[in-house]
Amino acid sequence: MGPLVPDIIGPNLNFVVALFIGIAFGWILEQAGFSTSKKLVGLFYGYDFTVLRVFFTGGIVAMAGVITLQHFGLLDINLTYINPTFIWSALVGGLIMGLGFVVGGFCPGTSVCAAAIGKIDAILFIAGSALGVLLFAEGYPLFEGLYKAGNWGNPQVFESTGLSKPLFAFLLTTMALLAFWAVSLIEARVRGEKPAYVHLSRTSIAVAGVGVLIAFSAFVLPSKKDALLGEAAASASTQSRARVMSLDEFAFRVLDADPRLQIIDFRPAKESGSGRLPKSVSFTVDNLFEKEPARLLGRRHVISVFVASDEATERRMAGIAEGLGYKHIHVLEGGLNAFNTEILHFDSTKVPHTRQEIDTYRFRNRARRTLPALIAANTFSGPVKKTIKRAVGGC
Amino acid sequence: MTSPKEYMNPYVAGALLGLLLTLTIFITGRGLGASGAMKSATVATMQTIAPSHTKEATFYKDYTVEHPEGALKNWLVFEVIGVVIGAFLSGLLSRRLSFVLEHGPRTTRAVRVVGALFGGALFGFGAQLGRGCTSGAALSGMAVLSTGGIITMLAIFGGAYAFAYFFRKFWV
């Protein structure tokens, strides 16, 4: 599951990746014609809309790509960088950049690209940018108020507008297509030519078709998450192949402080209160689908026991975890409700008869007296929240 | 000397750009960028020529806290070095390498020099205030559907259209 940094690709290899991504980025920008200011500003005077076409196609494809990866459980959006929203600095900074665009004829990325092929105006633009950064740095105390005003956090636009994500993506794509059509007409009029219809080779149309199909599948097919959740809700809870751990074995491993034991507690926070078992980690269904928390389940040589109030919930969760490819999941016999009545509140007045019953009696009576202290002493609520760390990004 | 090759079809270039951005987000969890590298270079320069000042001023202190490994050991610095290489190779293969100062038909070289410097300064400043430029905020922000990124994008292009009329002599 992506992002591959930092687990699969370490921080230093990431710099090498950055170099190669940069090479591809620079090559695409130059091939598209972003290395000349005349072509770039054509957008604002109506004679050349290359920038709009490249930029919007790129944005739409990337948006669809990210949605598709996320949909099929290949990318954890909680770990990717979402540009923060500071409303006032975004607006004022954006307007200043717009002014800089028509005055200078470049934006930072394109200026680097143009400078690389020898455009002197681009080299001057870069020098100017450095001065602009310097001005901001030196005057920072003056601008800090505006820079930090109106902090909305890191919302995604469908959260801010209240539209659903697929609807928003659809609207944005439609807008882009309409814009492509409209600018072709404007461009033709400004240049005094007939509108040039798009000429794409058969290969590009075929490749684009496959891309559209994949992206479209993200709208039609249920996501991996929805599919597994639906399956878990529908199927009889007995179908899970999870092994059942008996109450006594469970209590013994807890008392014994078994280093291999890992308790995954699915009770909602308000239900469990302060009564968390030692070495237990608090989990939600969503955690199973997230990269960081679910890492615990992939650990080797540990016995993961899913606990919840009742065994049916445990089995449902175990079924989802198995669907996600995790193995060796155990569930607690009868759930924590049974654990409460049979172990924590063991009725010691019941007289045992057989030898086995006597052993059980002795053990449960000891567990009843020792376990509450262990639970009370336990303040460990799990690393689930803490380990979530987004990638650092932005300019 | 043969003439330069034609530019790539903009929709094909856009699709490649979008796929590259998707791949970047999948691998690194972050998008593309450019102005951040200029910031790194500026901060590194200031740290070298005025170390006592950069230890005092808030902006540099904050930057050092956020980038403990040094200003230049930054993802965007490596990426922008790549952009220079990639663009150079593309220009070389398409026969577009040449030292020229491009300017509009109705302006002088001097106006273009001042315009490029001044426009660069505005963009550099605005990108700091707006937390990213056309690549880092607008394009990458659109890919992850960030509200802030999309607002910045609208402001950049809206601003450019709003001011374009006043600078038309620069270009047409």
| CA distance linking residue A331 with residue A329, whole number of Å | 7
Which of chain B's residues have a Cβ under 8 Å away from the Cβ of A392? 30
Residues of chain A with CATH 3.40.250.10: 232-377
3-state secondary structure of A331: strand
Interface check for B71 against chain A (CB to CB < 8 A): the answer is no
Mutate to test the interface with B, among A13, A47, A133, A140 (most CBs of B within 10 A): A133
List, as one string, the DSSP characters of A35-100.
T-HHHHHHHHHTS--HHHHHHHHHHHHHHHHHHHHHHTTSB-GGGS----EEHHHHHHHHHHHHHH
Number of A–B residue contacts, CB under 8 Å: 580
Which of chain B's residues have a Cβ under 8 Å away from the Cβ of A60? 18
- Is A44 in contact with B14 (Cβ distance < 8 A)? no
CATH 3.40.250.10 fits A232-377, yes or no: yes
Per-residue pLDDT for chain A (395 aa), expressed as one digit of tens each? Answer: 888 888 888 888 999 999 999 999 999 999 999 999 999 999 999 999 999 999 999 999 999 999 999 988 899 888 899 999 999 999 999 999 999 999 999 999 999 999 999 999 999 999 999 999 999 999 999 999 999 999 998 999 988 888 888 888 889 999 999 999 999 899 888 888 887 766 778 888 888 888 888 888 877 788 878 888 887 777 655 566 788 899 889 988 888 888 888 888 888 876 665 567 877 888 888 888 887 777 888 887 888 899 888 888 888 888 888 888 888 889 998 888 888 888 888 887 877 888 888 888 888 888 888 888 888 777 655 544 444 567 777 66
Task: Name the residue with tokens 């509009």.
Answer: B104
Please state the ipTM of this predicted complex: 0.96
| CA distance linking residue B43 with residue A314, whole number of Å | 54
Task: Name the residue with tokens 């404007």.
Answer: A186
| CA distance linking residue A68 with residue A223, whole number of Å | 9
Q: Which of residues 6-45 of B touch A (CB under 8 A)?
A: 7-39, 41-43, 45
Interface check for B59 against chain A (CB to CB < 8 A): the answer is yes
Interhelix angle B75-93/A108-116, nearest 10 degrees: 50
- Tell me the Ramachandran region of residue A334: left when phi exceeds 0, alpha when psi lies from -120 to 50, beta otherwise: left
Interhelix angle A120-138/A87-104, nearest 10 degrees: 150
Which of chain A's residues have a Cβ under 8 Å away from the Cβ of B34? 107-109, 112, 395
Interacting residues of B8 by C-beta distance below 8 A, sequence separation 6+: A28, A31, A32, A33
List, as one string, the DSSP characters of A250-310.
HHHHHHTT-TTEEEEE-S-HHHHTT-PPTTEEE--HHHHHSHHHHGGGG-TT-EEEEE-SS
- Is A32 in contact with B10 (Cβ distance < 8 A)? yes
Going from the C-alpha of A393 to that of each of A148, A343, B24, B132, the distances in angstroms are: 18, 50, 11, 10
Interface check for B140 against chain A (CB to CB < 8 A): the answer is yes
Which of chain A's residues have a Cβ under 8 Å away from the Cβ of B155? 90-95, 97-98
Nearest chain A residue to B132, by CA: A395
Residues B99, A37: contact at Cβ < 8 Å?
no
Nearest chain A residue to B89, by CA: A27
In Å, how far is A361's CA from the nearest CA of chain B?
55
Mutate to test the interface with A, among B140, B146, B161, B172 (most CBs of A within 10 A): B146
Nearest chain A residue to B94, by CA: A31
Q: What is the pLDDT of residues B52-87, one digit of tens each?
A: 999 889 999 989 888 888 888 899 999 999 999 999
- Is A85 in contact with B146 (Cβ distance < 8 A)? yes
What is the helix (H) or strand (E) element at residue B65, kind and residue range?
Answer: helix B58-66
Mutate to test the interface with B, among A17, A53, A83 (most CBs of B within 10 A): A83
Which of chain B's residues have a Cβ under 8 Å away from the Cβ of A136? 59, 124-125, 128-129
Interface check for B72 against chain A (CB to CB < 8 A): the answer is no
| CA distance linking residue B52 with residue B170, whole number of Å | 41
